[in-house]
């Protein structure tokens, strides 16, 4: 049930537009998926505009992005006799929009869903582009499908519900978009940093960058792979620490570390100048604390990259920078190179 013409609406007070969408003929039932945070802080904002619906609440956190949580969603859809004309509204951050979209895309071979992202990470990245999925056996987004939502409603006002750490986590994806496709934005907007008064223009520009890339390559057979910059090393680091109780880090924190590592790998191959590497490192360390691991763990972390979804057989394919603002995908790297990049990061 592909929907290549997904509308992305960015603005404040979007309840009436969501209401109009859900009143369309042909929608049999509405299900709203929330987590323990958004049910308190975000759901009351939208509830007055929602038609009669079933609320499905899940615990918040990456550790709940699992098949067990999917079973909760599928069970409630089944118990309420949801048919293929039902619509699922996912109200939450990247974990919830990824998982809720996956559950909708696989229930009865696919029902429609709407994304209402409430974190910066979800607004600029996770909810846009049609990637859905869950974690499995400790690996990030190991199971999932490409499925475009019916619509995406992005309200920057929801960002007021976030603490500084969550906001910074999402900001990593904004920086990634600059580094892979917008050198001018990196040169100018990084001076504003995380101290943004109105996020609307930042979100709009970041979404436009991602949409332009996704539209050219919806199923990630080529160009779309550039969006994985920072994620080969970042996902390995995030997955490793997720399995270490009390040491978990947020997705954006892992991606920030991954961008430094992969920028270093780019410089090692002569693709990125020393000055560019320094500017990336200096900026990222001005926003993010260093991810904590010890040198003896680098080999174990690097091994997890062998499970990366972009790989071809045993070849680890990475996105590197050919200068700031220009990404190159399908660059083969080795486990040893990843481990060395992590040791470099650790020494900084």
Q: Could you name the CATH architecture of 7-161?
A: 3-Layer(aba) Sandwich (3.40)
Give the pLDDT confidence score for residue 48 in this predicted structure. Answer: 97
Average pLDDT estimate for 232-248:
94
This prediction's pTM: 0.90
**Active-site position among 168, 220, 310, 337:** 220
**Active-site position among 235, 238, 276, 337:** 235
Is 1 exposed, middle or buried (CB count within 10 Å of its CB: 0-12, 13-18, 19+)? middle
Is 257 exposed, middle or buried (CB count within 10 Å of its CB: 0-12, 13-18, 19+)? buried
Residue 289 annotated among the catalytic residues of the structure: no
Bridge-based pairing of strands 87-92 and 30-35 is: parallel
* Under 8 Å between Cβ of 202 and 196: yes
Residue 4 has pLDDT above 50, yes or no: no
Residue 210 annotated among the catalytic residues of the structure: yes
Average pLDDT estimate for 172-189:
96
Give residue for tokens 């550039």.
226
Residue 37 annotated among the catalytic residues of the structure: no
Q: Where are the domains of the chain?
A: 7-161, 164-347
Residue 170 has pLDDT above 80, yes or no: yes
Residue 141 annotated among the catalytic residues of the structure: no
Average pLDDT estimate for 279-306:
96
Give the pLDDT confidence score for residue 147 in this predicted structure. Answer: 95
Residue 310 annotated among the catalytic residues of the structure: no
Residue 290 annotated among the catalytic residues of the structure: no
**Active-site position among 168, 190, 224, 225:** 224
- Would the CATH topology of 7-161 be identical to that of 164-347? no
SS3 readout for 258-271:
HHHHHHHHHHHCCC
Residue 173 annotated among the catalytic residues of the structure: yes
**Active-site position among 90, 231, 310, 337:** 231
Residue 201 annotated among the catalytic residues of the structure: no
Token couple for 77: 């859809």
- Top CATH class of 164-347 equals mainly alpha
């Amino acid at each position: 049930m592909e929907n290549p013409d997904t509308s992305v609406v960015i603005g404040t007070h979007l309840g009436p537009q969501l209401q109009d969408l859900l009143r369309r003929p042909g929608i049999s039932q509405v299900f709203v998926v929330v987590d323990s945070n958004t049910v308190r802080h975000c759901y009351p904002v939208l509830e007055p505009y929602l038609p009669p619906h079933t609320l499905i609440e899940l615990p918040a956190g990456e550790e709940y992005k699992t098949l067990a949580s999917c079973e909760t969603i599928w069970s409630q859809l089944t118990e309420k006799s949801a048919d293929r004309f039902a619509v699922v509204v996912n109200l939450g951050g990247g974990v919830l929009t990824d998982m809720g979209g996956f559950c909708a895309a696989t229930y009865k071979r696919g029902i429609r869903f709407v994304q209402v992202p409430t974190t910066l990470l979800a607004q600029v990245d996770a909810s846009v582009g049609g990637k859905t999925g869950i974690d499995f056996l400790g690996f990030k987004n190991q199971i999932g499908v490409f499925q475009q939502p019916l619509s995406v409603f992005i309200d920057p006002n929801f960002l007021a519900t976030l603490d500084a750490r969550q906001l910074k986590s999402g900001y990593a994806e904004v920086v990634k978009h600059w580094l892979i496709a917008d050198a001018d934005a990196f040169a100018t907007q990084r001076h504003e940093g995380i101290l943004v008064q109105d996020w609307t223009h930042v979100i709009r520009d970041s979404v436009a960058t991602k949409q332009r890339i996704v539209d050219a390559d919806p199923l990630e057979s080529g160009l779309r792979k550039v969006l994985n910059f920072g994620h080969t090393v970042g996902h390995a680091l995030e997955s490793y620490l997720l399995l270490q109780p009390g040491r978990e880090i947020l997705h954006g924190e892992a991606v920030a570390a991954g961008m430094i590592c992969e920028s270093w790998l780019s410089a090692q191959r002569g693709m990125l100048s020393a000055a560019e590497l320094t500017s990336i490192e200096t900026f990222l360390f001005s926003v993010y604390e260093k991810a904590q691991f010890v040198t003896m763990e680098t080999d174990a972390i690097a091994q997890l990259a062998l499970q990366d979804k972009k790989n071809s057989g045993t070849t680890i394919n990475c996105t590197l920078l050919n200068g700031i603002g220009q990404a190159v995908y399908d660059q083969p790297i080795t486990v040893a190179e990843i481990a060395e990049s992590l040791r470099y990061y650790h020494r900084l």
